Amino acid sequence: MHRHWLILLALALFGLPGLALAEAPPQSVHWGAIAFPDHAPTLTLSTAVLDRFTEFDGAGKRYNDMHQTMGFNFFTVSWTKPLTQLPGWNLNLTAGGGPTRDGPSRFLQNDVVHKLRGFDPVPVGEKRDANDFMLSGTMTRWFGILGTSDVFFAGVGGAGGSLYYEPYVQAGFRRLAILGVIPFLGDYLRVSALGRYGRPFSGAAFHQVAPQSYLAQASVGLGNYQHWKDSTPWEIELAVTVDSGLFVDHRGDALEERFVSLALRYSAFTFETWNDLINQKDYGPTFGARLTLDLFYMYDRWFH
């Protein structure tokens, strides 16, 4: 799947004015999107969420018993608010929806990248043609350990909509300066990790899902973190995700997935893309991308 990675990264670098922080659309987490909760108050808009599920690979091998190819083209709003009544707690609400159509992501996969690389196009049989939506909400507690700032978190959440339903719990740390005593590295390098356990239930689009889900994600970020308050923030973040699997095979066993994600952030904008290239496959949940705009940042820095 590295061909999808290259084309989406090229679009990011040459097609965007700049690159915000936002919680991922619920289904995108199981496609490999960066899933860490927001710490600061945010109100974000995301567009061009291209999560692609392919029924077959390039050789015509079927992924599982889901006999549809799906391209989820979601527009998403995400809002995070610290709770004054519960110091240290954040509430996040995320809503996304849009037309599920095969066209945009199939064009990227077959008509652009596969042609450029000389690969056979991925066969497409039946296609899901619907208007889908997903909603999610989380409560997250932020805290410090052994004198650190409040970069550790634990929380509970739930997601549901026309695709599937899933309550979950999660914990981890976000942008921890593990090399803080070393000049330069302490200012510009951060690491993050997350563990999540979920209990998925089927929905209108996903008729059969795994009875439980274990997800682990880790990332390394490079950015001007010490200067985010007094200068234009920027960050490059690379993440790896291992998911026990939202989907199941014909025996009902979960299909494990692994993903790589890249996020480029500058000012009020973020471009993120995720890909299953480390799985070395071309079917099931394969790739996705989104462009995010942070409205709170725009107001505070540009208009206030």
Residue found by looking up tokens 């997601």 in the block: 159
DSSP states of 70-114: EEEEEEEEEEEEE-TTSTTEEEEEEEEEEEE-SHHHHIIIIIIII
Residue 100 structural domain: 2-303
Which of 77-81, 83-87, 179-183, 222-226 comes out lowest in average pLDDT?
179-183
Q: Could you give the number of structural domains in the chain?
A: 1
Distances (CA, A) of 72 to 58, 96, 195, 226: 20, 10, 25, 37
Contact 73, 49 (CB under 8 A): yes
Q: What is the pLDDT of residues 85-99, one digit of tens each?
A: 999 999 999 999 999
Query: Encoding tokens for residue 185?
Result: 């590295």
The CATH number of residue 247's host domain is 2.40.160.40
Amino acid at 299: Y
Q: What is the pLDDT of residues 157-177, one digit of tens each?
A: 999 999 999 999 999 999 999
Contact 275, 239 (CB under 8 A): no
Q: pTM (2 decimals)?
A: 0.87
